[in-house]
Amino acid sequence: MKVAVPTEIKNNEFRVAITPAGVHELVGNGHEVLVQAGAGLGSSITDEAYKAAGAKIVATAEEAWAAADVLLKVKEPIASEYKYFREGLVLFTYLHLAAEPELTKALVDAKVTGIAYETVQLPTRQLPLLAPMSEVAGRLAPILGANVMLKPNGGPGLLVPGVPGTHPAKVVVLGGGVAGTNAVQVAAGMGAEVTVLDTNLFRLRELDALYDGRIKTIASNSFEIEKACLEADMVIGSVLIPGAKAPKLVSNDLVKRMKPGSVLVDIAVDQGGCFADTHATTHAEPTFQVHNSLFYCVANMPGAVPNTSTYALTNATLPYLRSIANNGWHAALKADPSLRLGLNTHAGAVTNAPVAQATGLEY
């Protein structure tokens, strides 16, 4: 089978959908891998590294799309890529079709088989191809928050771990899921005094056992959130209610009463954010002020670390890709109900109920 990987052309997207290890694996399984020249450079992967792993480098995106049995990407295709759609093409990438009616229609009209990373779901309800990005965003959050705290960056001039004889920063993490757990890990590793709040007591028990008293775990409710925020130097929002907008857990009035110079990092911004004043920001202008606090609300945090993000994503996608390449997409999906949930479009129809509902297209 021919697997082709074009360069990502969405604004500020530096990830690439395959690594040399992935190329090596597919070629070893008897497949041909075509990579567009320069596709890996944003993640510090050279054409030579791909070639050494067995890939063929093609000069243009057109060649990659035209040759592909399976077209592998990171982000959803943008309008200038729709011309490459054709019947029989299998597209494996993040699609987010519920928010993209035009893209959905283009895929349906061209009869593309679209398999979306974000709807692949395990029987445990976990999302194996979204989790790596939550891990990245979670680990980044305390690092970026600590950076915002520096005086030259407009922060209060507080060093997160402190030094002997001074207080470390108090970091509050709202939501101890994938992103929150990773935020706790890095914040605790930096020497902060960490409190995590979650409505799921089982999750808090696991975190309590893991940290053996080194962090505080608190049942999440408005009383405890207020108490924790009023003491916090940094609040990291990482809650998720699957399929719903994030609950607004920190009001404007609460921010008004927080410590001057406190920093609020809203990882849940892509679900509307869990602070009342959250609005999406960019890596170019990541922060804004609310009362005497600074908000950091970048919607694609993993974009700041494309190198790590590329490897984290492809580690997760490769087993599914290998199965699609080895067995053909149909047999691969039949054998794996989790991957079956990834199918969003096929043979001129939408095959995912929420996408059909959101786009008004035939299911």
Q: Which is nearer to ligand NAD, 37 or 218 (CB)?
A: 218
Q: Which is nearer to ligand NAD, 246 or 324 (CB)?
A: 246
Torsion 138-142-143-144 (CA) sign: positive
Site residues (CB under 6 A) for ligand NAD, limited to 166-195 = 174-180
Q: Please, what is the minimum distance in Å from the beta carbon of residue 210 to ligand NAD?
A: 14
171: left (phi over 0), alpha (psi -120 to 50) or beta: beta
Non-local (6+) Cβ contacts of 270 within 8 A are 280, 299, 300
Which residue in the block uniquely carries the two structure tokens 């759609």? 85
Site residues (CB under 6 A) for ligand NAD, limited to 43-82 = none
Site residues (CB under 6 A) for ligand NAD, limited to 210-269 = 220, 238-241, 246-247, 249, 267-269
Q: Please, what is the minimum distance in Å from the beta carbon of residue 299 to ligand NAD?
A: 5
299 binds ligand NAD (CB under 6 A): yes
Interface region with ligand NAD, contact rule CB under 6 A, candidates 147-155, 300-308, 310-318, 336-344: 300-308
Q: Which are the catalytic amino acids?
A: 96, 270
Contact (CB, 8 A) for 159 and 222: no
Q: Which of 179, 175, 187 is closest to 215 using CA atoms? A: 187
Q: In what order do the strands lie in the sheet with 193-198?
A: 216-219, 193-198, 170-174, 234-237, 263-266, 293-296, 287-290
Q: 70-72 and 193-198 as β-strands: parallel, antiparallel, unpaired?
A: unpaired
Q: Which is nearer to ligand NAD, 49 or 299 (CB)?
A: 299
Q: Please, what is the minimum distance in Å from the beta carbon of residue 221 to ligand NAD?
A: 8
Interface region with ligand NAD, contact rule CB under 6 A, candidates 19-27, 65-73, 299-307, 344-352: 299-307
200 binds ligand NAD (CB under 6 A): yes
217: left (phi over 0), alpha (psi -120 to 50) or beta: beta
Non-local (6+) Cβ contacts of 331 within 8 A are none
Contacts to ligand NAD by CB under 6 A: 133-134, 137, 174-180, 197-200, 203, 220, 238-241, 246-247, 249, 267-271, 299-302
